[in-house]
Structure 1
């Protein structure tokens, strides 16, 4: 056939259909243990796979996007690939497992085009602890880039095991407040098990493939894209990205990413050359390119995954915020045990006294404060707290028309003008931050609402805690004023029904491996006394260990003054001196849902904490050789479920330790 006689469009189609499978060079991690392979198959699909030390971890899986008017998931050809380069950055993190983080990864770009000549760029990074990739569509001929679906999948070998949380269905639950990432995990299930919820599975999703573990999540959420999850069905062990449900939007807002036609044109930009090629130039392109969040896979032995910071490494750098106002800490909070009736002036004043006694720096005043206390009364409490070194945090209801909640202040933050007015008023009063509740899920307009709140709160020097909310997905790095977020079936659920209290030990032993792996989590831990109408299932050592194991920029402790009065003086002293942020963390040992031990450093002191979620005592041998010959003091369970015991301990490589059933410990090494 004489190709010179073909119409250009037919010529392009003929080239695509005749193209063989194209193998791209493997992109490896700096330490050479991890390797990402990418190729275009004979069926013209873009696929990838991941190996660690030559062993498959992610089997060949799909890549690609579908936009309105542009199918970039099939009939693809590889146009070029950039040279590999080292991506390196260093950042500080106020809320997380480490305060100083260096991220190093090898990076490469690939350009592909479909049969119509429409282009897409894939950028991948491979670090020593995982793989990340994202898509970019800057196609000038596609004025509107409206997202339809994503072909991205993660395919595992049949013997892989999974630890997954179902995504709740939108507009279900009390007052239609779902989804809020508040379900129990299904643990150690066969890969490919369908979700009990049609809404799918949440991030982070945890898998064990042979000797390697994989934690899937996403990062770099700037408000231009919706949040994703894994689809409910995963036949053959292939998990595909899913979308929010239709109701997960700000009232009148959009569900999926949609870059409009009003984008200004950018100047021509230099395009990285393909391997061995010449420098080329892009022509004019629309500035507001469609860029997806990073798809993140932490990969390696369990210790590698647990110590990984990929969830923040791939997040956007921090916005400007007064460093003096970035104040992680601990908070007294009445609502956890005393509920709505405690939101009155005298009780809140007593909890300010309690926070001051415990040397905690915050007191949280919960729902309906505007009706039960009022702004004038809050001002008095703010001033009283300031005299005792205790800052005040106030609760807000985020919702407009998307649920049936009636708690107030409600609908006070829906517009930029409302937020600026309210935030200016709070800042002038001396309020330190807000707890904002009852969001509607993961649609693009709802993600934009979160980001708008964070930006407007930052402009007024206010800290933020999102409750009844989505997974933060790295926001603790991008927005230093974000102290924590719920997105978990937290302690409060164990005060409603006995079944949740009975399940709390295994549930909590799962959280550091998934929900709390990368992002701060407002579980609101720790009760030593009674829970009204509920029989506590955990021992006091288990409760105390949560203060170190769980990461939250502001740790809202559930215990009330009466319960704290029952503990020995040395426990109270420990909680008074507990660090407000961590400089370093190390996973020591553990298994999801069964128990774990983690070490965290603040300054020169190391805190080692562990829990046992099993029904029988467990004897562990801990490798604490990295502490040298340090002497420490351990607090653990005594004979009774409500008893404590204290004993000296010396760090060493083979420290034998028995943890009681549903018990725990904390050891401090100076």
Structure 2
């Protein structure tokens, strides 16, 4: 035998021995309180697997890890190549918008390495906190060749009796003017796991599951432009849901669809919030794992409320006089913004928009302007269009807006979840930040923690919002139950531009089914950096003065949150704190009247209580000042709601 043969044989035996020992290795990592444990191992086929246990009971069982790259499939033939020393993540940070201003993320972290016989593979970084599990892949390769990932094997395997509250992904290039996907479908409630998604496109994040007394909310966070956005695949045999990649049509022209990099890179975090419904509502796990904020001019970040003409009067009233009326409306309500929607460049023009911006500024109101994301991915003719497609055109347009005194932009009709579209979102956010512009994405993807990383991102639609109620009686009929699902799913972490609170009536033939108190409650239940209200000056004039005063004084951001009660699809009651005042809001998504018992001892010393409920007359609101007490019973009408203000 020659020396080279002995050398190769020796290393083959070493690798085989390492694989044998590693495959016998069962690594674990637990949450700081010890209730949640993750197990990671490689099975006899060389497949990387993980399980999640809560108090020793299986929640996620033998789920898959791994990816397929262009030239190699890391689905099997792997060995456990070791783990880094466990560390503690102890992160404190501030959010200018969101459910909680000051946040503390405490988690245990460990990085596990998986390799094949050629020494190629991937690492998985697990973080386990008291409220859930997050993990992401690390691909350590750098070189002249670009690494492309064509499939992700990641899965979440639930027991067969689990149920899901899931929203289907819309088919790419479908819908009005080929504007899908835009995360605007209805949720399907209480689905047995394993139920296929009917269109074959998959399920969007956040995806909610119930396993006995536990709840799991799955999402992703931390997209940095090198990975595509993902979803859960349409098939889930035996309750195993796999990560799915976007449709090939969800790209910028000539851009990348799938993850690609010529440098070492991370995937986004795969996030599972775990616990009770209170855990889900009060957790910020989907924000905690996002990257810290980019440097930003502090004056840019001004959350607030906005008037908006389009929701009631649509395209034909984007005129100078109508927008001036809505600026006056915002000023009277002490709201910070007025949004001017589609075709303002043609119907009003840049010069007169600058006049409106000056007029608004004199009244303490900032102007926001609508844009078409443009490009070949939709056929929408609304303008301004083609202004934001390149760095050069964005620079020119954003500089012009800044000089005009414009405070922010609403950008609509994006092209899906491909890597190049994700990169487009991020480029817009960075460029807008440099010019002091706030951003609102519409017809868009779920923001996945971007509001932490890019604090100028005030809100994102990605929801079947109130505008659908103005178009369709079917959507109006489903609005109440749909809204009770959103605090547990879409709005659990990321800001949501539902455009809530139509107190008087919809100015279309559609009949609104929710009560005025239900609508008022959504101004508190739904979290958005800028809340674009679906009310007109004429409608607000019909509202009692005490309610108008309430809306003038309603906080623009929140310090803390408490879940009081509810169930997705049925009802929900949530309390939010600003300073020394708690705002409690509840809505009823069902047809029968309900009594809600509120234990005010949860809030400490309460000096007085203000309550707004539905009045006796249809559409009316009843305001009551109540004395301090430990318990209150509040009646919510069918599709009704209430708002309670607690002064401490």
The one-character-per-residue Cα deviations of 1:386-436 (angstroms, maximum 9, x if unpaired) are 110010000000021111000000111000000010000000110000000
- More divergent stretch after superposition (481-490 vs 67-76): 67-76
CA distance in 1, matches of 2:281, 2:200: 29
- Give 1:275's aligned residue: none
CA distance in 1, matches of 2:531, 2:202: 30
| TM-aligned CA deviation for residue 622 of structure 1 | 2.6
Q: Does 1:518 align with 2:493?
A: yes
Alignment of 1:596-635 (within 5 A): 596-630=572-606, 631-635=608-612
| TM-aligned CA deviation for residue 499 of structure 1 | 0.5
| TM-aligned CA deviation for residue 246 of structure 1 | 0.6
- Give 1:537's aligned residue: 513
Alignment of 1:194-593 (within 5 A): 194-260=196-262, 288-531=263-506, 532-593=508-569
- Matching residue within 55, 58, 61 for 1:59: 61
| TM-aligned CA deviation for residue 647 of structure 1 | 1.8
Q: Is the 8 A contact 1:119 1:139 kept in 2?
A: no
CA distance in 1, matches of 2:324, 2:565: 42
- More divergent stretch after superposition (173-182 vs 319-328): 319-328
Q: Is the 8 A contact 1:16 1:75 kept in 2?
A: no
| TM-aligned CA deviation for residue 129 of structure 1 | 0.4
CA distance in 1, matches of 2:270, 2:442: 24
- More divergent stretch after superposition (648-657 vs 552-561): 648-657
- Give 1:662's aligned residue: 639
- Matching residue within 152, 158, 161 for 1:159: 161
CA distance in 1, matches of 2:236, 2:351: 55
The one-character-per-residue Cα deviations of 1:59-98 (angstroms, maximum 9, x if unpaired) are 1100011112232221111111122111111111111100
- Give 1:280's aligned residue: none
Cα distance change of structure 1 residues 251 and 98 upon mapping to structure 2, 3 Å threshold: same
CA distance in 2, matches of 1:418, 1:149: 34
| TM-aligned CA deviation for residue 301 of structure 1 | 1.3
| TM-aligned CA deviation for residue 160 of structure 1 | 0.5
Cα distance change of structure 1 residues 580 and 20 upon mapping to structure 2, 3 Å threshold: closer
CA distance in 2, matches of 1:151, 1:353: 54
CA RMSD of aligned residues (A): 1.8
- Give 1:638's aligned residue: 615
CA distance in 2, matches of 1:653, 1:83: 49
CA distance in 2, matches of 1:557, 1:8: 71
CA distance in 2, matches of 1:650, 1:8: 83
Task: Provide the secondary structure at the position in 1 that maps to 2:73.
Answer: strand
Q: Is the 8 A contact 1:628 1:652 kept in 2?
A: no
Q: Is the 8 A contact 1:490 1:523 kept in 2?
A: yes
Q: Is the 8 A contact 1:93 1:100 kept in 2?
A: yes
Q: Is the 8 A contact 1:627 1:651 kept in 2?
A: no
Q: Does 1:77 align with 2:88?
A: no
Q: Is the 8 A contact 1:85 1:107 kept in 2?
A: yes
Q: Where do 5+ consecutive residues of structure 1 fail to align?
A: 261-287
Q: Is the 8 A contact 1:125 1:132 kept in 2?
A: yes
The one-character-per-residue Cα deviations of 1:151-180 (angstroms, maximum 9, x if unpaired) are 100000011010000000100000000000
| TM-aligned CA deviation for residue 11 of structure 1 | 4.5
CA distance in 1, matches of 2:577, 2:286: 20
CA distance in 1, matches of 2:394, 2:14: 52
CA distance in 2, matches of 1:524, 1:144: 42
Task: Provide the secondary structure at the position in 2 that maps to 1:70.
Answer: coil
Q: Where do 5+ consecutive residues of structure 2 fail to align?
A: none
CA distance in 1, matches of 2:632, 2:398: 51
Q: Is the 8 A contact 1:344 1:373 kept in 2?
A: yes
CA distance in 2, matches of 1:650, 1:158: 50
CA distance in 1, matches of 2:54, 2:178: 44
Task: Provide the secondary structure at the position in 2 that maps to 1:38.
Answer: strand
| TM-aligned CA deviation for residue 9 of structure 1 | 7.7
The one-character-per-residue Cα deviations of 1:614-643 (angstroms, maximum 9, x if unpaired) are 100111223332212412101011113301
When normalised by structure 1's length, the TM-score is 0.94
CA distance in 2, matches of 1:222, 1:432: 25
CA distance in 2, matches of 1:214, 1:299: 5
| TM-aligned CA deviation for residue 648 of structure 1 | 2.9
Residue correspondences, number: 643
| TM-aligned CA deviation for residue 138 of structure 1 | 1.1
Q: Is the 8 A contact 1:623 1:652 kept in 2?
A: no
- Give 2:173's aligned residue: 171
CA distance in 1, matches of 2:116, 2:49: 14
Task: Provide the secondary structure at the position in 1 that maps to 2:110.
Answer: strand
